[in-house]
Structure 1
Amino acid sequence: MSCEDTWDLASSVGATATMAAAARAIATRADGGLIDDPFAEPLVRAVGIDLLTRLATGELPPGDLVEQVWIDVAKVRTKFYDEFFLDATNAGITQAVILASGLDSRAYRLPWPAGTVVYELDQPEVVEFKTRALAELGAAPTADRRVAAADLRDDWPAALRTAGFDPARPTAWSAEGLLGYLPPESQDRLLDTITELSAPGSRVATENRPNPRPGDEDKTKERLNRISDSWRAHSFDTDMAKLRYFGERNEAAPYLTDRGWAINGISIRDLFAANDLPPLKGDDLRMGDMRYVSGALARNGGGRDSAAREAASRRLRD
């Protein structure tokens, strides 16, 4: 994906949201006790990619098209972010922001505390599509859902402001499955902006991927190319390797820590063990080092952070 790329939910990086929803649909059908996303399957059907629809509905068994490890990752990742938001809002945080929300249905399926405002931020075509598709299903949000229609490459804080976002109130932020699709400098800018817009006591959740060892990325590209080739045989033409940004970048956890966040995390390997899923083996072992991380912004803030937040507040008010 290039910085000038455009997409919808059936093409380019936008299709990854539909792939993730298909994995959640498969996981929900296989293990409803660990993950329950009843909207994943109908949303995939609404997008209309034939292969992903047949996988999501169970018409086509995953087999080699969707390796079991990716289904298991969908289980633990969904559960991690579900619990992050519920823990944050049950602790008194009343606004949540889901960045690059795609086909995320948490605003419709989680038991949000009364008074919670959930902001979904994504490109206008994406949020409009999902809003319409869920309305046609008769689904109603379980929180005060507000759409912030903007591309992350544009002035997305202004879109949040228009939707009613208040930087003076603590916020629960998620950047789920997002950072690897951003150039390194864009990742840093996103994390900086989250920090600037966060009042003390805000919380954040994302993934921390270790920088690659020699040969790691070649193996990853080979694997992604195999997946893309198998999907092309079913008339779904996408190039997974080209959608990701490879190379060195700042790791998210220490980067956030340096900006005043108290960050904790758990590896995929440990999440699999905690949820009684089969351990990773072979080429999947390196995946186990990726950590799902979350944390809170120090309540007493800091000089640099306080000044940044005040500047962000002024920008949002102007």
Structure 2
Amino acid sequence: MSEELPPVGKTAVGVAGLRALESGRADRLFEDPYAGAFFHAGRAIFEGQERDHRLGMVFAHQVAIRTRFFDDFVSGGTQTVLLAAGLDARAFRLDWPDGARVFEVDLPDVLAFKETVLSEKGARPRCERTPVPVDLRDDWVAAVKNEGFDPAQPTVWLAEGLLVYLSRDEAERMLTAVTELSAPGSRVSFEHRPDGDQDGLLERARQFGSEVAALWHGGLSGDAPEWLAKHGWRPETVTVAELSVRYGREPLDRTRGGFVIATR
């Protein structure tokens, strides 16, 4: 099954493994009952690759903090779009308000893999869940609208772990589309690394994951808050270190990296 995943799908399986590890901790920051199943179904993709194991450990703390932060961010949304939804199961594991609708946008192969595993587990979403199989570099806007997305309704947009895989032009095009689709009151969030390519976490990751690092194209680099402000958003930022303290974890990441949250 894992052999059918595209290269970026490999990172999704790895992240699922890290979420499974966090879910097994007594002091876990979240609980993902499906993460282990995703990793088990796709783990063959890592066989004989010790470097990938070490790369995963570099990101373990980041993934735990990121997942909890983004869980809290999407909480309460009545129309939510998960851009590059990957193998996270928020539609199945979070409490959603009545009438909430979640659109999961990702590559067809990734969503097909996800559907197979969730079906085998008998998973049932806790909201109205709509998978949208499309490449975000293609006309994903039309695809989402065709599935019933309402641009007149405030939307919660989440682009978890995505922008670093896009070129600056691709990131700007995607966020411009998000802006055009966002009614007043909409919110958006994604990773923010003010040091851009010099971010310490990325530099450490490159030591162990040349294959994964080759997929990174930088996104908006360190300019995300400025870009958002120029396009009608009110951005705020928070660092992984600050969130670590808030969540009762030792701050392990000595970079300034974190997340941007913006309101329309």
TM-score (norm. length: structure 2): 0.89
The reply to whether residue 259 of structure 1 matches residue 259 of structure 2 is: no
Matched pairs, number: 261
Of residues 129, 138, 144, the one that matches 1:160 is: 144
Instruction: Report Cα offsets for 1:34-84 as digits up to 9, x if no partner.
Output: 1211111101112242648x9xxxxx9x985643x5222121111111101
Change in Cα spacing, 1:205 to 1:9, as seen in structure 2 (3 Å) is farther
| Pairing of 1:144-159 with structure 2 (within 5 A) | 144-159=128-143
Task: Find runs of 4+ consecutive structure 1 residues off by over 6 angstroms.
Answer: none
**1:30, CA displacement in angstroms?**
2.2
| Percent of aligned pairs sharing the same letter | 38
Most deviating of 43-52 and 97-106: 43-52
Most deviating of 12-21 and 162-171: 12-21
Is residue 190–residue 259 contact of structure 2 (8 Å, CA) maintained in 1?
yes
Distance 1:212 1:195 in 2: 23
Larger radius of gyration: 1
Instruction: Report Cα offsets for 1:1-45 as digits up to 9, x if no partner.
Output: xxxxxx977442221111111111111112454121111110111
Distance 1:191 1:212 in 2: 18
Distance 2:214 2:30 in 1: 30
Matched with 2:125 is: 141
**1:174, CA displacement in angstroms?**
0.2
Match of 1:146, as an amino acid?
T
The reply to whether residue 46 of structure 1 matches residue 41 of structure 2 is: yes
Match of 2:233, as an amino acid?
W
| Pairing of 1:192-207 with structure 2 (within 5 A) | 192-207=176-191
Matched with 1:81 is: 70
| Pairing of 1:31-110 with structure 2 (within 5 A) | 31=26, 33-49=28-44, 51=46, 64=54, 66-67=56-57, 70-86=59-75, 88-89=76-77, 94-110=78-94
Counterpart secondary structure, 2:7: coil
Matched with 1:173 is: 157
Is residue 184–residue 250 contact of structure 1 (8 Å, CA) maintained in 2?
no
Is residue 97–residue 118 contact of structure 1 (8 Å, CA) maintained in 2?
yes
Is residue 156–residue 188 contact of structure 2 (8 Å, CA) maintained in 1?
yes
Change in Cα spacing, 1:208 to 1:158, as seen in structure 2 (3 Å) is same
Most deviating of 263-272 and 134-143: 263-272
Distance 2:63 2:105 in 1: 21
Is residue 9–residue 18 contact of structure 1 (8 Å, CA) maintained in 2?
no
**1:196, CA displacement in angstroms?**
0.4
Unpaired segments ≥5 residues, structure 1: 1-6, 55-59, 229-237, 298-318
Is residue 8–residue 126 contact of structure 1 (8 Å, CA) maintained in 2?
no
**1:264, CA displacement in angstroms?**
1.8
Of residues 238, 242, 251, the one that matches 1:270 is: 242
**1:129, CA displacement in angstroms?**
2.0
Distance 1:65 1:160 in 2: 34
Is residue 8–residue 125 contact of structure 1 (8 Å, CA) maintained in 2?
no
**1:226, CA displacement in angstroms?**
3.3
Distance 1:176 1:219 in 2: 16
| Pairing of 1:195-234 with structure 2 (within 5 A) | 195-212=179-196, 216=198, 220-221=202-203, 223-228=204-209
Change in Cα spacing, 1:155 to 1:105, as seen in structure 2 (3 Å) is same
CA RMSD in angstroms, aligned pairs only: 2.7
Match of 1:275, as an amino acid?
Y
Distance 2:199 2:241 in 1: 19
Counterpart secondary structure, 1:49: helix
Match of 1:138, as an amino acid?
G
Distance 2:200 2:60 in 1: 23
TM-score (norm. length: structure 1): 0.75
Match of 1:41, as an amino acid?
G
Of residues 111, 122, 127, the one that matches 2:111 is: 127
Change in Cα spacing, 1:266 to 1:107, as seen in structure 2 (3 Å) is same
Unpaired segments ≥5 residues, structure 2: none
The reply to whether residue 293 of structure 1 matches residue 257 of structure 2 is: no
Distance 2:135 2:111 in 1: 11
